[in-house]
């Protein structure tokens, strides 16, 4: 079976043809990435992709969407597109479709991906637990959060339930004077500061500006891409410090999420998580993840891994479709 897998975030929309084998194995062809700002609507992006693929596409589609997927009109958290589910078959010319939250899709990918597609970040090494709750979160244009529940089931057949959440929008909790300063800066323009305002790609701008102010430095305005690039190539020590601070905050939020969800393991994902895969293991992420006072010992026992599949949203959207249509 073939279908079009789509992963729509705030900045990019990724498309791929997914093939689901008789054994349930999922393969993707080379993804096509489109900038959301280059297209007036999802429909025009779909038509662009269709033209790139020679004018014809499979008649099934699975979409991972950065935002809630319920209701008559789907509005994206970080881009202006809208999708009306009732019109999908007509507008796209498909016979079947599946809509999932983007991190619901990532959680499906975590459930399906083999052990060699995970990188150890903290806690015990080895595969993720075969039963219990796995928290899944990751920074990109926003901060996605989901969870999956594994159960051994009956007759040796395991059961997996995936749940999307809006956990990236919980309140941000500063843990030291520097984070107090970041919060104070953000509160000058925001009534409420969520975790996503500090743990997401664009958040590096405010982290960078806060550190500059604390050092009494005047810095020119830069966008988040420039700061991330300077941090990772070592050309700006302040940008590197901002990246360090970001990793601390990501560790703290990951730990909070694990506590709230009763997790037996945690997986970091997201476009930015993947970009930081070589840096996170040696950053302050693990220390902050475990820094939960009386629960530090409990946190140290939780395996924390990063999914290294390059397109978990696309893979997970296809997996969600396969899961529904194989039942």
What residue ranges do the domains of the chain occupy? 2-102+310-325, 169-307
Identify the band that residue 220 occupies on the pLDDT scale cut at 50, 70 and 90: confident
Report residue 26 as tokens. Answer: 């999922």
Task: Give Dmax over CA atoms of the chain in angstroms.
Answer: 65
- Say if residue 155's pLDDT is above 60: no
Q: How far is the C-alpha of 275 from the C-alpha of 255, rounded, in Å? A: 20
pTM of the predicted model as reported, rounded to 2 decimal places: 0.87
Q: Which residues lie below 8 Å from residue 19, measured CB to CB, with a gap of 6+?
A: 1, 2, 26, 27, 28, 29
169-307 has which CATH code?
3.40.367.20
- Reported as a pLDDT band with limits 50, 70 and 90, residue 177 is very high
Cα radius of gyration rounded to whole Å, the chain? 20
Token pair of 38, please? 């280059």
Q: What is the pLDDT of residue 15?
A: 98
Measure the CA–CA gap between 277 and 254, rounded to whole angstroms: 15
Secondary structure class of 177 (helix, strand, coil): helix
Query: Which tens digits make up the pLDDT trace of 13-44?
Result: 999 999 999 888 899 999 999 999 999 999 99
**DSSP label at 309?**
-
Joined tokens for residue 273: 């998580």
Place of tokens 């959207």: 317
Q: Of all residues in the chain, what percent carry a pLDDT higher than 70?
A: 97
Mean pLDDT of 208-230: 92
Mean pLDDT, range 128-139, rounded to an integer: 94
Q: What is the DSSP string of 120-135?
A: EEESS-SSPPSSEEEE
Q: Which CATH class is domain 2-102+310-325?
A: alpha beta
């Amino acid at each position: 079976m073939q279908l079009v897998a789509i992963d729509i975030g705030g900045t990019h929309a990724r498309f791929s043809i997914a093939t689901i084998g008789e054994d349930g194995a999922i393969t993707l062809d080379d993804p096509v990435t489109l900038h959301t700002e280059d297209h007036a609507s999802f429909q025009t992006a779909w038509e662009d992709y269709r033209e790139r693929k020679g004018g014809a596409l499979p008649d099934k589609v699975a979409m991972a969407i950065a935002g809630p997927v319920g209701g008559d009109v789907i509005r994206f958290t970080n881009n202006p597109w809208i999708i009306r589910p009732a019109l999908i078959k007509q507008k796209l010319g498909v016979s079947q479709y599946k809509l999932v939250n983007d991190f619901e899709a990532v959680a499906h990918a975590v459930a399906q991906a083999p052990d060699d597609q995970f990188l150890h970040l903290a806690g015990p090494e080895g595969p993720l637990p075969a039963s219990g709750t796995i928290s899944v979160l990751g920074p990109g244009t926003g901060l996605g959060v989901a969870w999956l529940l594994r159960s051994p089931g009956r007759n040796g057949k395991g059961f997996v339930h995936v749940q999307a959440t809006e956990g990236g929008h919980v309140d941000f909790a500063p843990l030291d004077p520097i984070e107090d300063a970041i919060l104070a800066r953000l509160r000058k323009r925001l009534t409420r500061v969520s975790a996503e305002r500090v743990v997401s790609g664009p958040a590096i701008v405010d982290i960078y500006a806060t550190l500059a102010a604390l050092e009494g430095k005047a810095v020119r305005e830069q966008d988040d891409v420039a700061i991330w690039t300077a941090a990772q190539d070592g050309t700006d020590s302040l940008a590197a410090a901002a990246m360090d601070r970001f990793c601390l905050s990501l560790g703290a939020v990951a730990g909070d999420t694990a506590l709230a969800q009763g997790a037996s393991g945690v997986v970091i994902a997201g476009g930015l998580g993947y970009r930081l895969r070589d840096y996170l293991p040696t950053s302050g992420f693990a220390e902050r993840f475990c820094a939960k006072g009386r629960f530090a010992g409990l946190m140290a026992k939780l395996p924390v891994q990063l999914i290294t599949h390059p397109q978990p949203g696309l893979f997970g959207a296809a997996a969600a479709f396969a899961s529904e249509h194989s039942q």
